[in-house]
Amino acid sequence: MEKALEGKPMSENDYQLRSFAPKVQEVVKKYDIKFDPKNPIPNDGSMADDIFKAAVELLVDVGAYCTSSARVISYTDQEVKQAIRSAPDSLEFGEGRDRKTLRSRKVGDKTPPWCFLGAGGGSAASDKSFMTLVEGYAEIPETNAITTPALTTVGGMRIRPASPLEVLGSMRNAVLAREACNRVGREGIPIMNSLSTAESDIAFAAALHPRYGMRQSDGYLMCCMDPMKVDFARLNKAAVTLSLGGAVGMCSGPLLGGYSGGAEGTAVSNVAHHMMGILTYQASWMLPFPIHLRYVSSSCRELLWVISTTGQAVTRNSDILSLNLNYASAGPCTPMVLLETSASVLAAVTAGLSIESLGVASNRYPDRTTPVEPRISAEVGHAVAGMNLKDANTLAKKLLDKYESKLLKPPLGKTLYECWDAEKRRPSKEYSRVIRSYKRTMRDLGVDLRDEA
């Protein structure tokens, strides 16, 4: 707060366009960081190390920006490096038999990734579909933690930001999420995005009352704004979480084609956000979701490179706990959505990251996501753990060949209840056929996934 109140005065526009953006391009040029489209998953440790050095230099030079005070939050090189050294390399989440340890991973690590599964990015959902989805997520065997959708209505009224409707919706978010997990015997599973319905600080704080079911052992995820911007509302959330003994997670989504520029700058920005989260939010785990400005997804060739180089840079040079969140362009009940998430998960896991999965159909449509897509993500994540970067690169190129040409006009697929049986908690016959065909394809590519029942 001292830095946010007494830092260098600057307009938001000047920070973004005259400070952050030029500095990103300066460090990219200085460290000779280059994107190679022929290798979406590169095997170049020295480049990964340079991306990490460039990220440290970027943060030290431009700092973070507080929009509430219009001041720069500056950090010294010593402060940044101390934050990297002091970041935890493991955290425990959950209760009882569902209590597990999230651990840092390394490039090519054989340890399966932590699987934080559900409606990544807070996909919108009605009350009915909310329960259906969370029950489905909790039943996935590989699920270590749940990410819930965001409710769109409460009492038949559409939720309005920072209103009593958002407060009530956030309370309902907590109650329904816990009840859905209880129904399928996962009473202790952590809900690591805590309250996706709570965009405002007042709604977030209100829903943390113990009667609504949130626990100290859950994860408390809050986003920053791109690029490296915070405000008092977000810092309020961090203050409340820390006072309750919760583990703050910071999510950040640098836009490829935005202030960071191309793939090279987006990778540097993505790594810098990790350190910024530790320093500004006192975050103990990070959730990056770099995304393409045009496709609004993370499965294109450039983003696979960004995900992989980010992971390699972070895991080679620190023990920061980092989980990549992926977005797919296509919708449910299409082969493309399963191929897209497979490629993004492959890039993250082989680089040493864990995963949150996933945003479906670019997260643009309510009730257009199912439990199938995160389940496939988890299966792929476990299957490719231990794969070397050279083999991962070969596989990524083969996957891209199958969907890359469709990214501009992806198939929208079907809605939740058109391809998911809520009573039996299983995909429809049509979606089951799509899954079986997809798994045969993956098997032909050398990735053996669980047989369909």
pLDDT tens string 244-295 = 999 999 999 999 999 999 999 999 999 999 999 999 999 999 999 999 999 9
Task: Judge whether residue 453 has pLDDT over 60.
Answer: no
List, in order of start, the domains of the chain with CATH numbers.
Answer: 90-444 (3.20.20.460)
**Predicted confidence band of residue 125 (pLDDT cuts 50, 70, 90):** confident
147 contacts 190 by C-beta, under 8 angstroms: no
Q: Is the dihedral of CA 349, 118, 205, 96 positive or negative?
A: negative
Provide φ and ψ at 236, rounded to 5°: -60, -45
**Predicted confidence band of residue 155 (pLDDT cuts 50, 70, 90):** confident
The predicted pLDDT at position 51 comes to 98
Task: Judge whether residue 121 has pLDDT over 70.
Answer: no
The DSSP output letter for 362 is G
Which residues pair with residue 354 across a beta bridge?
A: 323
CA distances from 202 to 122, 130, 161, 230 (A): 18, 22, 10, 16
C-alpha of 307 from chain center: 11
Residue 147: both structure tokens together:
């990410």
The mean per-residue pLDDT over the stretch 369-373 comes to 96
The share of the chain scoring above pLDDT 90, in percent, equals: 92
Mean pLDDT of the chain: 95
Q: Is the dihedral of CA 53, 54, 59, 62 positive or negative?
A: positive
Task: Judge whether residue 195 has pLDDT over 90.
Answer: no
More confident residue, 242 or 119: 242
Q: In what order do the strands lie in the sheet with 71-73?
A: 71-73, 64-66, 229-230
Q: Which range, of 89-93, 110-114, 146-150, 328-332, averages the lowest pLDDT? A: 146-150
For the full predicted model, state whether its pTM sits above 0.95.
yes
The predicted pLDDT at position 122 comes to 64
Instruction: Tell which residue, 78, 66, 74, 63, has the closest CA to residue 19.
Output: 63
Task: Judge whether residue 124 has pLDDT over 80.
Answer: no
Angle at 191 (CA atoms; ends 107, 422), nearest 5 degrees: 105
Q: Which range, of 4-18, 76-90, 148-162, 386-400, averages the lowest pLDDT? A: 148-162
**Predicted confidence band of residue 170 (pLDDT cuts 50, 70, 90):** very high
Task: Judge whether residue 144 has pLDDT over 80.
Answer: yes
Task: Judge whether residue 367 has pLDDT over 90.
Answer: no
C-alpha 439/C-alpha 447 separation (Å) is 8
Beta strands at 420-421 and 426-427: parallel, antiparallel or unpaired:
antiparallel
Provide φ and ψ at 53, rounded to 5°: -60, -40
315 contacts 105 by C-beta, under 8 angstroms: yes
Residue 165: both structure tokens together:
């409707």
Give buried/exposed letters for 389-426 (b at 16+ CB in 10 A, else e): bebbbebbbebbebbbeebeebbbbbbbeebbeeeeeb
